[in-house]
Amino acid sequence: MFSTAVGVVLFGLFTASGAHAGTGPCSAVKLNGSGVWFPVSMRKDATGSLNGVFPDLARDILSTLDVPVEEGPDLPWKRVLTLLENGQIDVLAGAYKTGERLEKFGYSHPVMQEEVGVFVRNSLPGRPGSLDDLKGLRGIAPFGASFGEEFDTFAADNLAIDRQPYDDFRTYMHLLMENKADYLVMARRDGLMLIREAGAEDLVEALPWSATVNTLHFLFSRATPCIDLLHSFNEELQRRINDGELDSLIKTYDLSEGDG
């Protein structure tokens, strides 16, 4: 009898908790994102605040909606996604769309498009002309990064891409320069910036074709009341797209050449 009563109480607690997800007021948005994704979302260092197209845009839109923003600390990408799924983060500042993520999160309208580039050493014999030409070569890519469902599926079936968790993204470029990999896959803008930072202009080049092209979105947790902001957020986002404000913001970061 006692265990039955306890079970009823616990069931009621879990039901109430589940019913709260996505309902009620959103008093503040807990925002986080990548710290190393130019110009999407960046930090100057591990203790710095987020800047970039997505954090700046989020703060602007949420200010218009009279919702305060609480920015989270620098965390590994996979950890950020887990916290978003569990409701410990409300909004993720920039991510590609995948089928798995569509099932878990709310998506904003597309904010920008991004090419995923393939970078090779100048000394590599021949020049790969397509993804098929990467078969049999040694690839590297940032740890935890998804480049969209189509590319990820192709890579899993056909390519050998090593993904190690390095704190400094420049490590990936140095591995390529030091002949410890044949090619690097990463966002084209990020890669071009790393070439400049590493002084590798005479050693590494971006291939002229793209591995894939993805749209970038804000992700909203479905486990918090802030999911109710998504419709209003999208309306404000669309207004900024129509008015050219978003293009102006993106161009501002393009001109900064990664300085943040």
Domains of the chain (ranges plus CATH)?
23-112+215-256 (3.40.190.10), 114-214 (3.40.190.10)
Contact 111, 154 (CB under 8 A): no
Write down the pLDDT at residue 113.
93
Write down the pLDDT at residue 14.
33
Instruction: Measure Cα distances from 139 to 42, 50, 168, 171 in Å.
Output: 25, 30, 18, 14
Name 105's bridge partners. 221
Write down the pLDDT at residue 224.
97
pLDDT in tens, the chain (260 residues): 334 343 433 333 333 333 344 456 899 999 999 998 989 999 988 788 999 999 999 999 999 999 999 999 999 888 999 999 999 999 999 999 888 899 999 999 999 999 999 999 999 998 999 999 999 999 999 987 888 888 999 999 999 999 998 878 889 999 999 999 999 999 999 899 899 988 899 999 999 999 999 999 999 999 999 999 999 999 999 999 999 999 999 999 876 654 43
Residues recorded for the chain: 260
d(CA 147, CA 141): 10
Phi, psi of 239, rounded to the nearest 5 degrees: -60, -40
| Closest-CA residue to 173 (of 193, 194, 187) | 194
Name 70's bridge partners. 30
Instruction: Measure Cα distances from 78 to 57, 128, 165, 181, 192 in Å.
Output: 23, 30, 11, 24, 24
Write down the pLDDT at residue 180.
95
CB atoms within 10 A of CB 107: 16
CA atoms within 13 Å, Cβ hemisphere of 37: 28
Residue type, 74: D
Write down the pLDDT at residue 19.
36
Contact 206, 117 (CB under 8 A): yes
User: Token pair of 147, please?
Assistant: 């480049």
Write down the pLDDT at residue 8.
37
User: Token pair of 115, please?
Assistant: 């090419």
